Amino acid sequence: MRITIDRDRCIGSGQCVMTAPGVFTQDDDAVVALVPGHEDGAADPRVHDVPLVCPVQAVAIFED
């Protein structure tokens, strides 16, 4: 699995963090970031729900 985030698109809603806190976090500006070491998404099974809950489609998941 590969996760991409578009930090320019992100509106800081935090839905990714609320849904899969093992993989997503917010930086000091409340913009989306991936949790270091967990960029592959394996740390949280709910990662698959994130593209659905992100209000601006800033998160994409590509299954290999």
Partner 1 sequence: MTEAEIRLSRASASFPQDRTCPYQPPRAYAQWRGESPLTKVTLFDGRPAWLVTGHAEGRALLVDPRLSSDWGHPVFPVVVQRTEGRGGLAFPLIGVDDPLHARQRRMLIPSFGVKRMNAIRPRLQSLVDKLLDDMLAKGPVADLVSAFALPVPSMAICELLGVPYGDHDFFEECSRNFVGAATSAEADAAFAELCTYLHGLVVKKRAEPADGLLDELIARQLAEGHLDHDEVVMIALVLLVAGHETTVNAIALGALTLVQHPEQIEVLLRDPAAVSGVVEELLRFTSVSDYIVRMAKEDIEVGGETIKAGDAVLVSISLMNRDARAYENPDVFDARRNARHHVGFGHGIHQCLGQNLARAELEIALGTLFARIPGLRLAVPLEEVPIKAGHDAQGPIELPVTW
Beta-strand relationship, 59-62 and 2-5: antiparallel
Among 7, 11, 20, 37, binds partner 1 (CB under 8 A): 11
CB of 24 to ligand SF4, least distance (A): 6
| Smaller CB separation from ligand SF4, 32 or 47 | 32
Contact status: 52 vs ligand SF4 (CB under 6 A): no
Count how many Cα atoms sit within 13 Å of the Cα of residue 25 in the half-sphere of its side chain.
Answer: 10
Residue 24 — left, alpha, or beta (φ > 0 → left; ψ -120 to 50 → alpha)? Answer: beta
The residue ranges that bind ligand SF4 (CB under 6 A) are: 5, 10-16, 32, 54-56, 58-59
